[in-house]
């Protein structure tokens, strides 16, 4: 089990920054901005009633949006502060405190795993390949794993691709945004879709 102090999230974010992040999307939505772009794309990929893991769910925004769209969703995050905030914001969502290095078959299998918001750039350094391997064990045959993050962060796309292949996955699509804009040399964000 990874301790809080060893992940980049806990070493690079103060308690105040974590509290601020827990409320970030509440404020963005209150300003009238769209906060469901990732959920819409995942919903479009999934058959109705799919079983989905929101890996690194934060305060559960995507978990909640996909649950409201009729999917069976479990959201997991290593930060108890974010999970507590998420349970207040989205009482119907299934949110659990769990580090991604601790994913196991006890959760069951998932048709789709979504990992958004730079999550892979905040895990414990050196744990990334093991996390993708753990995800591959709970991804249903022919399921998809979707990752979205800024490409200038601590986890290079080349490493994601290498770890995905090692986990037995094939890169199916890569987009420059959650709105399916093309990924180009000018892109600063990547949405990578792997097939199990």
Between the alpha carbon of residue 31 and those of residues 34, 40, 93, 156, the distances in Å are: 9, 20, 23, 33
CB-based contact 65:89 (threshold 8 Å): no
CB-based contact 24:60 (threshold 8 Å): no
pLDDT in tens, 31-48: 988 888 899 999 999 999
Q: What is the CATH number of the domain that holds 170?
A: 3.40.50.150
What span, in angstroms and rounded, lies between the C-alpha atoms of 57 and 75? 5
Per-residue confidence (pLDDT) for residue 89, from 0 to 100: 96
Q: Out of 21-25, 94-98, 124-128, 168-172, which region has the weakest mean confidence (pLDDT)?
A: 21-25
Interval 183-195 mean pLDDT: 96
- How big is the chain, counted in residues? 196
Interval 72-92 mean pLDDT: 96
- Say what percent of the chain tops pLDDT 90: 78
| Domains of the chain: total | 1
Encode burial over 85-117: b for 16+ CB neighbours within 10 A, e otherwise: bbbebbeebbbeebbbbebeeebeebbbbbbbb
Per-residue confidence (pLDDT) for residue 8, from 0 to 100: 76
Per-residue confidence (pLDDT) for residue 92, from 0 to 100: 94
- Residue 9 pLDDT grade (very low, low, confident, very high; cuts 50, 70, 90): confident
pLDDT in tens, 132-169: 999 999 999 999 999 999 998 889 999 999 999 999 99
CB-based contact 86:23 (threshold 8 Å): no
Stronger pLDDT, 30 or 93, i.e. the higher one:
93
pTM of the entire structure? 0.91
Q: How many CB atoms lie within 10 A of CB 68?
A: 15
- Residue 1 pLDDT grade (very low, low, confident, very high; cuts 50, 70, 90): very low
Domain interval for residue 156: 4-195
């Amino acid at each position: 089990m990874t301790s809080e102090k060893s992940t980049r999230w806990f070493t690079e974010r103060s308690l105040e920054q974590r509290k601020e992040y827990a409320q970030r999307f509440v404020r963005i939505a209150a300003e009238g901005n769209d906060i469901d772009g990732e959920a819409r794309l995942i919903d479009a990929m999934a058959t109705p009633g799919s079983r989905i893991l929101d890996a690194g769910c934060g305060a559960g925004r995507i978990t909640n949006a996909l649950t409201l769209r009729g999917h069976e969703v479990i959201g997991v995050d290593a930060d108890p502060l974010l999970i507590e905030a998420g349970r207040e914001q989205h009482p119907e969502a299934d949110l659990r405190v769990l580090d991604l290095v601790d994913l196991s078959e006890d959760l069951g299998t998932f048709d789709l795993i979504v990992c958004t918001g730079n999550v892979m750039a905040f895990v414990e350094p050196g744990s990334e390949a093991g996390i993708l391997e753990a995800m591959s064990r709970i991804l249903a045959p022919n399921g998809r794993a979707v990752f979205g993050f800024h490409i200038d962060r601590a986890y290079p796309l080349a490493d994601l691709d290498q770890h995905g292949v090692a986990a037995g996955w094939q890169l199916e699509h890569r987009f420059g945004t959650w709105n399916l804009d093309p990924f180009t040399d000018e892109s600063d964000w990547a949405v990578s879709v792997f097939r199990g």
